[in-house]
Amino acid sequence: MKDASTHLNTESSLDDYAYSFAKARAIHRHHHFYLGPTNSGKTYNALETLIKAKSGVYLAPLRLLAMEIRDRLVSAGVPCNLITGEERVLMEGAKHTASTIEMMHQKNQIDVAIIDEIQMLQDPDRGSAWTAALVGVPARQVFICGSNAVTAPCIKVIEALNETYEITYLQRKTPLVLEETSICGKRYSKSILKNQLKKGDAVIAFSRKDVLTFSARFRQWGHTVASIYGALSPEVRRTESERFNSGAADILVATDAIGMGLNLPIRRVLFTNIHKFDGVASRQLNATEVRQIAGRAGRYGIYETGFVNVFEDEERIHIEHMLNVDDSSDLNKLPIAPNFSEIEAIAHKLHTAKINECFEYFASKVKFNQLNLNHELFSLSSSNTQFTQALLVDEFAPKMALRDKFVFTCAPISINVNIEKDYFLLCLKSVYESTTRHLPPQPIWVDSHNAQYLETAELLSQNISLYAWLSYKFPSIFVEAELVGHYRKSVSRYIERALLSQAGYGDTLRELDFLQKRY
């Protein structure tokens, strides 16, 4: 155990950011790091303590994981609430909560908190939520689970807060083996791949189109298939996970979303590519990504060994290197984002109603260290999402109350998807003009078995989720919250049917690239 009481002895020397979490600063927190690769029991060990605690919270990277842990606690006889941005499922007498990390409640002191997948601090869009949890969760014992990639900057912050910590390093419970030869040899071949697939394989692609194309192809080859990718709602992902868990699907085709804590009975992970598009450019998978994804193979208690492989020989070299290289991140300052109190103070100082100007001012002050932020600890989140949404809010609702503007800058949408952006603006208009907004009309195809509306259904599901999220912020405007559950279920059931019959896109991105080079 390590105590940092000799590092800093006065509150005035600490950052304003840290002391904005008053409840956390009022108690002396002790941090337990459970660090190690996947399938090492990190979260399992922390959950054992959470189950025995009088009160506690599990902070999840995914709504699906929050649902899974809530169910696990309830099954253990512990009443547990589920709180995400778009739902509140409360149990009478519950003193435990499973929550998405963005929904962390910082005002009620608890005994135990679990912060899962701590390496998500590296995420440019969401990393600031992990910083807020690390600094601000008001628990006497904080369990920090994940890889060892970001341990150093976490400890630096804990020491600056005069709080104690201990580190437990865990080893995999089953060995992970990179197979000696790639699936297809020197060059990728559909015919070779067809004969290499086995029950328990998880085939990892890095785009929705590739997931759907491989899924359709494998079904044509006689396999039963489950599909998981980011555009699917948590309800659909849960159903697809259950199909694979139960054996109803013998092969899983998924994006790297499975690297975020999903517990699946995977025997072997097959990478279809070693490159992914990260929103800016195509790049090679880094060590943390490779380990998080590959490590899902060899589920403890089901398989004695986990296997990993790639399609081509040259790609095997990269995967082997990433599995063996030190995966410590180059992150040395934890990302933060402004809260409403800070934005409100800036607006008052600048005499402005434009929330984007407030964000820009905050960014400039962080850059030049004029907000009493310790440059050794924190830096501004690299995400541009909130800034982009702030510009839209200022343009389309210039006289909206600042607090309401801030809510819309935090809305969970993909602003670069036109349909989501358009619906976001419709919702913004309803609040701005104080007019009631109903749920999107239910399409006639929702009860059909026609797969042609799959993408439309995915987008509709996202709009329903935004409606649900906003209904908690503006219940007098978004008045059909009680209908969300049934509507979402109908759309989810359609998507599940469509996944079983959709025909894919003919060729994968790899195959199209090969054809372009050939001709």
What does pTM read for this prediction? Answer: 0.90
What is the predicted pLDDT for the residue at 27? 95
What is the predicted pLDDT for the residue at 260? 76
Q: How far apart are CA 390 and CA 447, in angstroms?
A: 38
Q: How far apart are CA 86 and CA 356, in angstroms?
A: 25
Q: Kindly state the DSSP code that residue 163 receives in the 8-state scheme.
A: -
The string of pLDDT tens digits covering residues 439-473 is 999 999 999 999 999 999 999 999 999 999 999 99
Host H or E run for residue 365: helix 355-367
The string of pLDDT tens digits covering residues 276-300 is 887 777 899 999 999 999 999 998 8
Q: How far apart are CA 371 and CA 16, in angstroms?
A: 8
Q: How far apart are CA 507 and CA 217, in angstroms?
A: 10
User: Which segments in the chain show pLDDT lower than 50?
Assistant: 3-14, 370-371
Host H or E run for residue 480: none
* Pairing label, strands 56-60, 87-89: unpaired
What is the predicted pLDDT for the residue at 6? 36
What is the predicted pLDDT for the residue at 516? 67
Q: How far apart are CA 290 and CA 123, in angstroms?
A: 15
Q: How many residues does the chain have?
A: 519
The strands making up 87-89's β-sheet, listed across from edge to edge, are 87-89, 80-84, 96-100, 56-60, 110-115, 139-146, 30-35, 164-169
Name the CATH code of domain 176-329 (choices 3.40.50.300, 3.60.10.10, 3.90.1150.10, 3.90.79.10).
3.40.50.300
Regarding the domain delimited by 11-169, which CATH topology (the fold level of the hierarchy) does it fall under?
Answer: Rossmann fold (3.40.50)
Alpha helix segments (H runs only) across 149-286? 151-160, 190-196, 208-220, 234-246
Q: Where are the beta strands (DSSP E) in 247-337?
A: 251-254, 268-271, 275-277, 282-284, 306-310, 334-336
What is the predicted pLDDT for the residue at 519? 52
**Could you state, in order of their start, the residue ranges of all structural domains in the chain?**
11-169, 176-329, 334-499
The answer to whether the beta carbons of residues 62 and 102 sit under 8 Å apart is no
DSSP for 319-335, written as a single string: HHHHHHS----S--SEE
Q: How far apart are CA 53 and CA 269, in angstroms?
A: 36
Query: Fold identical between 11-169 and 176-329?
Result: yes
* Pairing label, strands 30-35, 139-146: parallel
